[in-house]
Structure 1
Amino acid sequence: MDFAYDARTEELRAKLLAFMDEHVYPAETVAEEQRALLASPWDTPAVVEELKAEAKRQGLWNLFLPDAEYGAGLTNLQYAPLAEITGRSPHLAPTALNCAAPDTGNMELLAQFGDEAQKKQWLEPLLAGEIRSAFAMTEPEVASSDATNIETRIRRDGDAYVVSGRKWYISGAMNPDCKVFIVMGKTDPDGADLRRQQSMILVPRDAPGVEVRRAMRVYGYEDHYHGGHAEVLFDDVRVPAANLVGEEGGGFAIAQARLGPGRIHHCMRLIGMAERAVELMCRRAVTRTAFGKPLAQQGVVQNWIADARVTIEQLRLLVLKTAWLMDTVGNRGAHTEIQAIKIATPRAVVDIIDKAVQAHGAGGVSQDFPLAELWAAARTLKLADGPDEVHQRSLARRELKKYL
């Protein structure tokens, strides 16, 4: 087994690490200072646009998209260590590289399932970083962990579809640059096949009947760099029939195709978040003294650091294996491993960040360090893209099937 990164990956890693040191980390404080002066907290700080321009200039743009026609043409295995690096500054770095969710998943969806007109209108400006987008799936009135529960209706009416429903935690929807929603709803709510009832449709943000009602907080954070997470009402929104993505009844399959790569991207970035937490914990441990000796000499802190290193190495190997399988046998063939990393990575990274918070004492929960926000982001990923329990249920069934 060869665990070395190939030459292209190593070249991009070196460029990206330098980009992080020279541009991203210094911009973290600047972005917060600029945001405090903006007319709206959802506007983009100028330094973010500067980062995007620099990333484009250096060829660090759209690295996530394996389709060479639209993106960098990297395999999942090549992109994995790059996404990990961006996870060290998860609110700035992915956006700077145009590799931030939900746009990444939406671009992949449009590249794979969109027709030429849809690609021209929406995919091309997304690839250029000129607009942002949102994916409207989760609903407040039903258990959205089971996507067959979705109640939003997409009703055919002549040469149009009429969209009616209420969504929430729609990532990116508060950003004024968000111009389009990819909405999942039911075109055939009484259909016999529960997985053929749903469809996907493109809804412009400025379409009559679209109301972005409020920002939803995540553990008290509004997640401005992500474009927030909004509650959105679709009140009999009429859009052309040509806005349907794929075919009627194909929404569930499209969602699964979109969420597979999204799950591995999240796990890649989570490992980077864990690395940032360990770095901060070690720096804190060698600069703070308690009970007569540095924290670095306290056995419990040493245990935290050692356990974190072992866990990160285990997670990285599992994520890289999953990326390799996705490249060689496809997302369906890597289903078990995708679910395994989605269960294991957020759970373990939450614990690593929690130990780093503990090592920082009161500072760990303050705004002076990124740890509290990192913890909130990692904890949320135990829910996002399917809660742990859904993946555990599916994974257990697949294991048990061997013995039945």
Structure 2
Amino acid sequence: MKKPVYLDYAATTPVDPSVADEMVKYLTPDGVFGNPASRSHAFGWQAEAAVEASRKQVASLIHADPREIVWTSGATESDNLAIKGAVAGRQDAHIVTSKIEHKAVLDTCKWLEQHGTEVTWLDPAPDGSISCQQVVNALRNNTVLVSLMLVNNELGTITDIAAIGSELRQRGVLFHVDAAQAAGKMAVDVTSMPVDLLALSGHKVYGPKGVGALYVRRSPDVRIEAQIHGGGHERGMRSGTLPTHQIVGMGKAFAIAQSRLEDEVRKLESLRESFLAGLEPLQGVSLNGSRSQRVPGIVNLSFDGVEAESLMLGLRDLAVSSGSACASATIEPSFVLRGIGLSDEQAHRALRFSFGRFTTEEEIAFASSQIVDVVSRLRAVR
């Protein structure tokens, strides 16, 4: 069986081979396998040094102080820690977020809402954007936190975090940003983006699954309540034995991403243009999301007259998605697409194509050709 062309990088990325090679060094008896919290012998010291070196690598990509990086199991935990940790102990807290955030944010805010926290759910514009004015208008005297993603995981639309953060900083409101889809795909600089809490994921940046980080601003100091207790690790914000091999993998992956950022952005832009050019023979193809304020690696398209599920069945040689991997347990149309105003019928006709480091021009040409053939065939038999 021919290996399918992988066009689902927004769901997860393969681990870069050099990252995998580095991780192996921290697993076996002849490697650095000690517990980073073991401070009484060399095995622990070596592991701790590796963890701290990786902390610097992750911090460097987003221009943070290494002391502002808290290790977690992934962006989902980072989002939970940021949001719940900011609200903990406040009886009259109010949160502002949007209706098209990642489920890690939506479900966390819904849970808090059920337990007494007030939540304002912002409606995005048709291109998936949230305006600064929308956020400002939603603020109240008891607003504790605003939570918005930097890059939407289904649309690729970029939120103007810098403008929103500037307004929130002036008002003393904490700003949490999910940057899982942004890191390594665009410049992320917490010195110019006034954010307080920022979630990162290893497996979206060619690192391993099961590891992530939360940026927690130190100046002025941001305090959040721990959600996992048991040892006071990570400055008391996240207890648990640190997985040295995964952390080293994430650090290596982020270092590679930083060194290749400009080249990879140019490559993804070229791949996107080639992909869309290859679909020009088709009529009735609509781009969902912003045409200009977007990362190049995610393209969400609706095909008139063709159900996405039928199209995916026809595209057996392509690995694509009809929405977020984190919402794949449901056959309901994408809540993100409905959130930007698409009807259920329109949402059911959409597919997400996402490209990455190992995507080739030949694969893009093959994918475009396959889509044109299958869409044309499905429309002919309607």
Task: Tell me whether the two structures share a fold, i.e. TM-score over 0.5.
Answer: no
Structure 1 or 2: more helix by fraction: 1
* Normalised TM-score (structure 2): 0.25
Task: Point out which structure has higher relative CO (alpha carbons under 8 A, 6+ apart).
Answer: 2
* Normalised TM-score (structure 1): 0.24
